[in-house]
Structure 1
């Protein structure tokens, strides 16, 4: 007979600090089918009366455990009258095996042959029993099938049964030895199905997700959890109203992030934005959810690509350097405040306040109209104030210092802070004395400088000034980290101006003198110098200061300012960088020899940057003479003889076509920079008299016919034309050069404009120029046009182009139709319907269209 537990019984979690009291139970066997009978469950201080509804002639022995009253784990029922002698007798008659026997009966009640109410009451009792700890879980796990029966109850329609089943699985899975058994019984699949239900109570969600939290501790089970439909559900529960559900979902995701193979599927599911939102907001004051979100994002940040995604969400990776490192912090004391980047603030005509408040509080006594600070400067001030305050009171990393004692483990740990606090914290660390902390902070700055917003934030916070000072640091690791950070920051034109103004070029150029410098350091230094000494930037900066990575607001403001000023004033104010940095004094024979050596022996990437720097230096006449006398001719020959252009010398081309394409593109960039440098040097009569023009002409003609990208051939063609014009009167030679330039540079460029340009004017100009070239009878020009796949673009142009463009396109297609090999391509491009439409509509070009139709086999 099934036991019906009265609804007034209330189970509460036991107090795990108290010993579980055993129960003595008097069981009366009932063998009647007529009347409900009564039996008594007797404990040391309770009589529990339960009514049994008879169902068969076979009596069922059922038990109800009673927990320690003190602490909340009790059965709330009205006690029956009993005498002390009866209680003592009950205690003496209890045996050590009674508890296990009761568990067996409750497990038996979970069977499918019992009604749903019996099963629900049994699972609730077992769940409350398991809350006692591991020994009670062990007692349940002695009976085979207990997990299977519990998992089956997850399909119940009763919320109480689902909650109890998930709660019992949570307790079982908290024991390491039973975790695999829970997963093998299909708990993950059933919990996933349960969590898919549209309406669930918070208690069911909490118990179910906490069970998954326990299972996710096992590395073998993480892949199974991440590859199911569970991941979108967990991400959805991060926005649940119940904070405990949020914490559990965050815990599961944090554990899944511990396995690197799960990162891809988790990132694609959108985990990073959700976790970042929890970390940036207060999350209702929950430290658990913030901790789990931080742990998950820190795991993602170990990957270089995913670290970018984390920073894009407004978080900065900050190294934990230990509270002891901040003891060397000494805040700057100014008689008058300055901005974090070192900019001094002018005092107004009003005198200082009586108590010096205007000297301590930034901007309090500034009344000038220009005192309105930009948002970036304001954020830098706020961030600096907050971090310096924490450092001065000793509150930075106080909690982390208590948890981590070993210096080795601390040197590998990091945290995530909102970008404003993170930027200020990293700049603060740069001013400390701990070399390891400074190097880690500089590396974090490099990692965080992924967009213009972050670069400007670091500049306004004063990072550039600190990093430039670190270029002269005695530690090689600190110096390398500072160079790396400056390289990432120098992508911004604004930062380049600050780097130049703060005198960073002298230590950078001086570093090139050391032959023992690593190739990676050399590449980073050349990157910075190439950004600052960009030959094309000097003129662009006078007329155009375009946005970098979306800094449109700042760009628009500058354009508005520039349009309101006189252009002559802009040109006069934008002085040459050569005058400001006095690069002539910095360029000695050792540095120049180093640049020439890079052109001769280094990779195409370094060759491109070295050629760009040398081109910038040739603006000065003194530098020009030094470059010519340093043996630049042999260096240029080395650049023009790129190994990768000889496609026949390696079998790797067929095996790795992507790698070959990348190498060809890098070689093309180096050749283009060297061609610009050679074009500049050809202006000197001294240089023209020393070089072998025919040798350079051969190199450039071979390059023009090579497979380097088309946009890299423009300077090659320009340099080749200039060489041919300076080599003396030779009509045949000049004609050959002009023809090759036309076939391998001009025609492909014009066709590319016709295909890709969105401007009708550009397309019209390109097709008219292309028609002029073909009409002049350049040898093989029509074959070159057909080989470049221009037929489809020309047919499209006669359908959509302007009148002049249609006329030129028809003329080109007619010339192409003279070769019968092009007929199939012209027809396949859809020329016949387009031509008939022009003829039937009697457009101005209908005669040309009709003549072309007659040449086609239609």
Structure 2
């Protein structure tokens, strides 16, 4: 009994304080009304207790319904001390004055901030949540704020989340958030309520409204940090459901979150939630690219302990991250790498004549190495458990300058798994030229080339993937070759235990280095550049001169020392593998080397004939010959890959035919038959150009004409020239290209070969020709009319010419009395009208 009385007194006292401290400002706005129950309650000058409250309420009430409520309140309040709460809840009803309802909801909201016990006391009264939700429709911003605030407090308790959701609170809040005029306070409370509710997975479906998410994205630009925090929290919870990702991305959430995350100012909570959303979206490969394009880099969290293996170089002269040395006039370098630290800290404040990319690389390296030296790197992740599963390994997002520098830093650590993850992250981040150049300037190339010889297969595969992605840039590819990448790549080729994945990456890098379009030319490196003197100086760093260790090296000589007969034999063996992608790249490398007779001898001796046979006998071609009309869709990709491999091999074959000792080692007639079959196949048209050129050169260099029922030049015209010309006529946007193609096609048709006209019709050439006579003029119009006239000689083409709309166009030409009216008239006369 004593405990109950103590609880009653405490509750009364607490409610009295809440009433006096939080409601007085709002009450000053209204004139006291003696008949108002809450006015009597809130302006009581002394401690209120249930009996006093009841007597005052009864004496001031003239409403029978209020008297009835008081009677029920009296029966529930006696001996419990909780009567205030019941009264305030009842005052939320629509039968009470709006100002009374406002004061009641404000009081309940402030009382609920006392913690779970207070929320439990409020929720003991049934209907409280429904009455509160109804107040969200109020025109008063104070009422809406208090109602949303009370729902926020209630939804913070897991036990009551379902009650809030079932009351329709989510729908009302979404409707409220879409109001054009909404105060910041109301918006904050509504968003915080949704933040609490969205923790429950089954409630996210209701919250992920197609109208709400665009509004949430708009709130990310709000000036109030609390609104940004709550918005980020809601988005972070919604991002846990994959079904929400597409709506969020289409609403433009990635650029705004990226901008928020890169900002050095503002709330840390907002940046943390933004990072959570982006990391969830980054699990999708396409969305990850969109995030990287916004200037962020995904960096693996390897654990602070891994960075303990980082050792700054003591007594070192400062160097640029890419290895370029800096000479200085100081008598000795500073200890513990302080010179490099000072250079990084002062590089932006000094008048150094450095490129922006180099400056950013120095600043990024300095910041990350400083964090590693003091043991502060990944400090925020020390308490997070590291997940063992590779599919759930943790990552963080950093602005590109810090992220690139940290990845390069990880490459120099001892932990093999950390190095492999960093290398894979570099590969993923190398999506544009800016990032590739930044990795080069940050010094990633020298680490990666060194790691290609690592004894761990996972490290080698990840590193090869990174080098392959970086080599897309011609500038970076040049630096990769200078770093000595050829030796480890050739070692990978010669290793019989190399996996196909690693082999493919190695051959891809070599193919970029030995791209046939580059040609072999001598390049001299080793220029010396001077950094302008500084307007000021700092200790140990004075007149800076950038120098390189490169000496003048002739590239062909360096390559000849690496690519020997064994490596050539490995490339020829790759041509025999049933992998079109590998075949294409190996043929490209050999094509580059085929300009030097020494290599041609090696290629011939390595059995290139059997390698070319393997490429020209692609498995997919046999299926195409059997059934042209009913090919499964999967064959489209396979046919494209096969066509690229055949095109590269044909280009190599054409070059090799320039050497007598190669021509004497092959069976020309056999290759003519093989290439004729390839030319007639359904490989893409753009892959047939080198096949046709190889056939023509092979025929001219061969004195045998076995099995020439259909001459090679006719087959080339039918299966390569005519389809190519029709494609140019129908798809080219250049009038000059179209005119040249029409004239060449007319010259072919005028030879009178029936198969040529049939090929034009079979390739769908009638429709683009008719379309062109409507807009063409001069020689192109005359050539079009001549071709169509030849086609009209075959009555089977009449319906196609008429369907293409030729008759009205021809009549206009005839009536115009232009120079081509006679040709148009002759064509009209051949068509049925």
Class of the TM-score when normalised by the shorter of the 2 chains: 0.7 to 0.9
2:396 partner SS: strand
What CA distance in whole angstroms lies between the structure 2 residues aligned with 1:248 and 1:209?
Answer: 6
Q: Give the alignment's TM-score, normalised by structure 2.
A: 0.85
Cα shift at 1:667:
0.9
Distance 1:819 1:11, change over 3 A: farther
Contact 1:11 1:128 in 2 (8 A): no
The more displaced of 602-611 and 125-134 is 125-134
SS of residue paired to 1:789:
coil
Match 1:631 to one of 586, 607, 614: 607
After TM superposition, list the pairs within 5 Å mapping 1:220-299 onto structure 2.
220-284=202-266, 286-299=267-280
Structure 1 CA distance for aligned equivalents of residues 683 and 284 of structure 2: 33
Q: Is the 8 A contact 2:624 2:631 kept in 1?
A: no
After superposition, what is the alpha-carbon deviation per residue over 1:170-218, rounded to whole angstroms, capped at 9, x for unaligned?
1121111221222222222111100111111111101101111011101
User: Is 1:581 aligned to residue 552 of structure 2?
Assistant: no
| Aligned residues of 1:36 and 1:52 also touching (Cα < 8 A) | no
Q: Contact conserved, 2:426 with 2:466, CA < 8 A, in 1? A: yes
Partner of 1:607: 583
* Partner of residue 748 from structure 2, selected from 773, 777, 780: 773
Note the 1:741-760 alignment, pairs <5 A.
741-760=716-735
Q: Provide the rounded CA distance (Å) in 1 between the counterparts of 2:42 and 2:376.
A: 69
- Supply the distance in 2 between the matched residues of 1:56 and 1:722 (Cα, whole angstroms): 110
Distance apart, 1:289 and its partner CA = 0.3
1:834 aligns with 2:809: yes
Corresponding residue SS for 1:582: helix
Separation in 2 of the partners of 1:310 and 1:363? Answer: 28
**Matching of residues 620-769 of structure 1 within 5 Å:** 620-647=596-623, 656-657=632-633, 659-728=634-703, 730=705, 733=708, 736-769=711-744
Distance across 1 between alignment mates of 2:497 and 2:235? 47
Q: Find the counterpart in structure 2 of residue 80 from structure 1.
A: none
- Is the aligned partner of 1:200 residue 2:175? no
Structure-2 residue corresponding to 1:97: 80
2:770 is the counterpart of 1:795: yes
What residue is the counterpart of 1:54 in the other structure? 62
User: Is the alpha carbon distance of 1:514 and 1:36 closer, same or farther for their aligned partners in structure 2, counting shifts above 3 Å?
Assistant: closer
- Inter-CA distance 854–539: structure 2 relative to 1 (3 Å threshold): farther
For the 8 Å contact 1:338–1:362, the answer to whether it is kept is: no
SS at match of 1:302: coil
Paired residue secondary structure (2:661): helix
Q: CA deviation at 1:824?
A: 2.5
The within-5 A match list for 1:289-438 is 289-332=270-313, 336-345=317-326, 372-401=353-382, 403-404=383-384, 408=388, 412-438=393-419
Closer, same or farther: CA 808–501 of 1 in aligned 2, 3 Å: same
Shift of 1:643: 1.3
Q: Is the 8 A contact 1:169 1:182 kept in 2?
A: yes
Q: CA deviation at 1:623?
A: 2.3
Distance in 1 (alpha carbons) for counterparts of 2:468 and 2:643: 23
Judged with a 3 Å threshold, the aligned counterparts in structure 2 of structure 1 residues 355 and 691 are, in CA distance, closer, same or farther, namely: closer
RMSD of equivalent CA atoms: 3.7
Return the offset for 1:598: 2.4
Match of 2:518 in 1: 537
* Higher mean displacement: 782-791 or 449-458: 782-791
Could you say what secondary structure the match of 1:506 adopts? Answer: helix
Q: 1:24 maps to what in 2?
A: none
Secondary structure at the residue paired with 1:416?
A: strand
The answer for the alignment partner of 1:804 in structure 2 is 779
Q: 1:237 to 1:47 in 2, by over 3 A?
A: farther
Distance 1:183 1:814, change over 3 A: same
Q: Does 1:159 pair with 2:134? A: no
Alpha-carbon distance in structure 2 between the residues aligned to 1:418 and 1:390: 16
- Taking a change above 3 Å as real, the CA distance of residues 691 and 575 of structure 1, as seen in their structure-2 partners, is farther
Measured in 2, the distance between the counterparts of 1:37 and 1:236 equals: 40
* Greater length-normalized contact order (CA 8 Å, ≥ 6 residues apart): 2
Q: Which runs of 5+ in 1 are unaligned?
A: 14-29, 66-92, 543-572
Q: Secondary structure at the match of 2:595?
A: coil
Measure how far apart 1:695 and its partner are. Answer: 2.4
For the residue of structure 1 that corresponds to 2:832, the secondary structure is coil
Identify if the C-alpha distance between structure 1 residues 779 and 693 changes in structure 2 by more than 3 Å, giving closer, same or farther: farther
Partners in 1 of 2:692 and 2:552 — Cα distance? 31
Q: C-alpha distance in 2, partners of 1:470/1:646?
A: 43
Contact 1:503 1:581 in 2 (8 A): no
Native 8 Å contact 1:37 1:53 kept in 2: no
Aligned match of 1:522: 503
Partner-residue secondary structure (3-state), 1:98: coil
Q: Is the 8 A contact 1:704 1:713 kept in 2?
A: yes
> SS state of the match for residue 59, structure 1?
helix
Contact 1:838 1:845 in 2 (8 A): yes
Q: Aligned residue pairs: how many?
A: 767
Mapped partners of 1:248, 1:745: distance in 2: 63
Q: Whole-Å Cα distance in 2 between the matches of residues 173 and 334 of structure 1? A: 60
For 1:118 and 1:628, the matched residues in 2 are separated by 99
Distance in 2 (alpha carbons) for counterparts of 1:184 and 1:665: 56
Hey, what's the Cα distance between the residues in 1 that align with 2:679 and 2:287?
40
TM-score by length of 1: 0.82
CA deviations on 1:645-671 (whole Å, 9 max, x unpaired) are 2236999996951x2211111111111
SS for the counterpart of 1:432 is coil
Is the partner of 2:397 in helix, strand or coil?
strand
SS in 2 for 1:690: coil
State the Cα distance separating 1:336 from its structure 2 match: 4.6
Say if 1:202 and 1:242, in contact at 8 Å, map to a contact too. Answer: yes
173 and 365 in structure 1: CA distance in 2 versus 1, 3 angstrom threshold: closer
